[in-house]
Structures are given as C-alpha cells and as structure tokens.
Amino acid sequence: MASDSQVSVVMVPFLAQGHLGQLMHLSRLISSYNIPVHYVSTTSHIRQTKSRHEGWELQSFENIHIHELPIQPFNSPPPDPKASIKFPFHLQPMFEASLHLREPVCKLLASLSATARRLIIIHDNLMSYVVQDFVSLPNAETYCFQNSSVFFYFSYYWDLTGRQIAADDQILQQLPGVEGCFSAELFAFAEKQEVHARNSSGHLYNTSSSIEGHYFDLLQELKVCRKQWAIGPFNPVQICKKPDEQRHKCLEWLDNQASNSVIFVSFGTTTSLTDEQIHALAVGLENSCQKFIWVLRDADRGDIFTGEDRKPELPEGYEDRILKANQGMVVRDWAPQLEILAHTSTGGFMSHCGWNSCLESITMGVPIATWPMHSDQPRNAALITKVLQIGTIVKDWDAGNNLVEPLIIKNAVKKLMASTEGDEMRKRAAECSDAIKKSVSEGGASRIELDSFVAHITR
C-alpha cells in the first residue's frame, strides 16, 4: 500500500514494561509503510525498552525516531511481596510523575506538527492526560491504544453500561470480579485520563479477530469509540535469530531439551511473591518431575536502573540440584520471553496472564497454566481457560490471597505437560497460533485491519 510521507506518527506509551514493549512493536508495523514514527518516553524508560527489546532489530528501522524526555523526580519504594493485594502500589509515584510529561510532549507535538500534513498520535489509554494539548493543533488527531484483551474491555464496558446489549454467553455470566484487581489510586489516576480520552478518533487493540472476533463484534455494538481496529499481534510471529554469543544462557539449555518438554515459569514485571509462596512453587515444580525454566525476579521499580533488588531465597542447594539433574534452571535476570516461547522445547507457560504474555504465548502456540495477580489478569485467564480452552488453572481468582500449595502446583504442571488433556490444549494452542499467523499475512484479518488503519490516517 502506498504511504504518505507527510504523515507522521507519535507513539506515547505508558511507563510500564508491558505497555512500552507493545507500542515499540507497533512502531515497527507502522514504520514498515514508510511512515516516520516518533517513539516518546522518559530517558530511563527508553533505556529500559532498548535493553529488553527482542524479536527484531531496532537499529534496522531508520524510520523509527526515539525521543527522550525528562520526568519529575519521584520516589519509588521497593515492591512489597507481603501485600494482601498484588496490584503494584509501589509504582503509583511513577504513574503520578508521568502526568508532568504533558508540557514536554506538548512542545514536541507542536514541533512535529509544523512539518507534517497530518500528525497522528497513538497513545496509551493511561496517557490521555499527557497528550491532551493536541486539540490546539489544526492537523493532529489521536488514537487510543487499549493495552489488554478485547475480552477484558468488552466485559468491563459491558458491566459499566449495565449489560445493555444481549450477550448469550455463559462465560460472561460467570466472570471473575474486579475486587482486588486495582487500587483506588489507580482508579483516581484513570479518571484524570477519561475526559481527554473522549477526544480520541478511535481505539487500537493488540489482538486478532481470529481469536477474539466474537468479542470484538460485541464491543463494536457497545459503541464506546468512533472507530476501532484489531491489528495484533504487534509482536513478530517469526523471531530474528541472534548470533550465538548474544543468546541468553537459558536458550542454550533449551537447545538440549526434547520438543515441548519444558514449562516456562514467569509472572511478569509488576508482581513479587512472598518467600513462603516462592518456596512452595520451588517444591511444586521439582516434585512435578517436569523440566522448567523459572524466571525468579522481584517486581520492577519505577526506575529499574536504581536501587537494589531483593534476591528471593530458594531451598538450600535447589538451583544446583535441578541444574545438575538437568530438570531445569532458575533465571534471576531479565529473560527473553518471546524467544523462550518460540523455542521448540517450550511446551507450556505458567503465567500471571498479563495480556502481553498471553498474546505472545498464543502466537507461539504455547498453552498456559494461569495464575492471575491483578488488573486485567483474572479475566484474561478466563479467556485462556474457558473461551480458547488452551490452559489450565493454577490459582483460581476466587481463592484470594491464600497460599498456593506445592501439590496444587505439581498437579497443574503435570496436567499441562504430561497428560492427554495437556496434549489437547497444546493442539488447540497450535491451531490458535496458525490462525494468528495467517491473520497477519497478506489477505489475513489483522493485516486487512492494519492496512485499513494506515489508509485512514494517510487519507
């Protein structure tokens, strides 16, 4: 499709890993139409994005321009693994500090507006306040990036509007509640965004109608925005192979394991487990007799490059024992999740069910053992286990803050990795993967949606 070089796109992600990465992936997709993309964030979050970037070479996309902006100082306390609610309260000071990006973002938008026929601003739904001054620019329009599943957003807006449209769907009737998912502070922060979000010209979703088409259609019926496009997955469906010297050590270990024999265990960047839960997880994984890679890190601070991280304790001799037995390995630094999920030896994923993790896992055809922690995760878990049927439950959301015992963990791992049910989940996950990969190829649903969006902004 022909593009219009007089159109410039500005990406304004929210300051958290799952948001930063998704809009960087979208930058690649948009820039492939020969449209200049300006990716905007703070200096430390740009550094974070680059250091954790995977799947394609950022340097090879000359049309992606990075803008580092200053941010007001903020005090990010260490995460509290003992908190009864797993929402990352410790990141709230960073959320509040992000509001001060309004002025530098406004200056950048004004500068870019002066040299473009049309300025397109794609911003995270939690950055609507920051981009609000676009209304003063005669050639600017905004599109709101919704960073979770369509299933989550439909169910959320459906509840909010009093379930006004008929949805003959037993799964929707039995949704997990949102109590304990969010903090009062986050709701207050989101309210500051809502009034400005109404000026958006449309919503973008990182999903494919091949897996969420039914709920995308239902969401359109709710008319929560002017236009909407399902153009995911943003992440690449094929991974660029790195030279051996640049590969993470866990990938070398995976190279020596049988196909679909390893479960990958990771709970994202915003959750810390208690020492007691870590111990129970360690015992459950070992007793399952299944191979595993476990990313054991504390939650991110507001600035991941400052402060000392807590190093969770494992049973004495645990790491050496499982490595010597070739049962698994514990990774305590950042791990290349997309590459791990794409590896042929990876046959399962124990996850918190953040949407980024869910979609990466679905893209690579890997079923999920669900352990939601907060935010959209309980409903994403319902999508995985009940709608798509490509996962099994480790922790039910209704269990609250109760300890997940080693036996429950062991049984969930064995069910996913060493049972007929698990094999069926893997087969369905592979079918979802095939459908998603077809959707992003020429003539596929997501590709058509992306072409449609690009045609719309370059009209």
Give the active site residues. 19, 124
Q: For residues 102 and 82, give the distance between their C-alpha atoms in angstroms, rounded to a whole number.
A: 34
For 16-55, letters b (16+ CB in 10 Å) and e give bbbbbbbbbbbbbbbbebebbbbbbbbebbbebbeebbbb
The secondary structure of residue 243, as a DSSP letter, is P
Q: For residues 176 and 397, give the distance between their C-alpha atoms in angstroms, rounded to a whole number.
A: 7
Tell me whether residue 179 is exposed, middle or buried, using C-beta atoms within 10 angstroms of its C-beta: 0 to 12, 13 to 18, 19 or more. exposed
Tell me whether residue 319 is exposed, middle or buried, using C-beta atoms within 10 angstroms of its C-beta: 0 to 12, 13 to 18, 19 or more. middle
Instruction: List, as one string, the DSSP characters of 394-438.
Output: SS-GGGTT----HHHHHHHHHHHHSSHHHHHHHHHHHHHHHHHHH
Q: For residues 333 and 296, give the distance between their C-alpha atoms in angstroms, rounded to a whole number.
A: 8
CB 372 within 8 A of CB 352: yes
Residue 182: CB atoms within 10 Å:
16
**How far apart, in Å, do the first and last CA atoms of the chain sit?**
12
Does residue 93 have a cis peptide bond before it, meaning omega lies within 30 degrees of 0? no
For 229-244, letters b (16+ CB in 10 Å) and e give bbbbbbbbbebeeeee
CB 427 within 8 A of CB 366: no
Which residue's structure tokens are 């980024």? 356
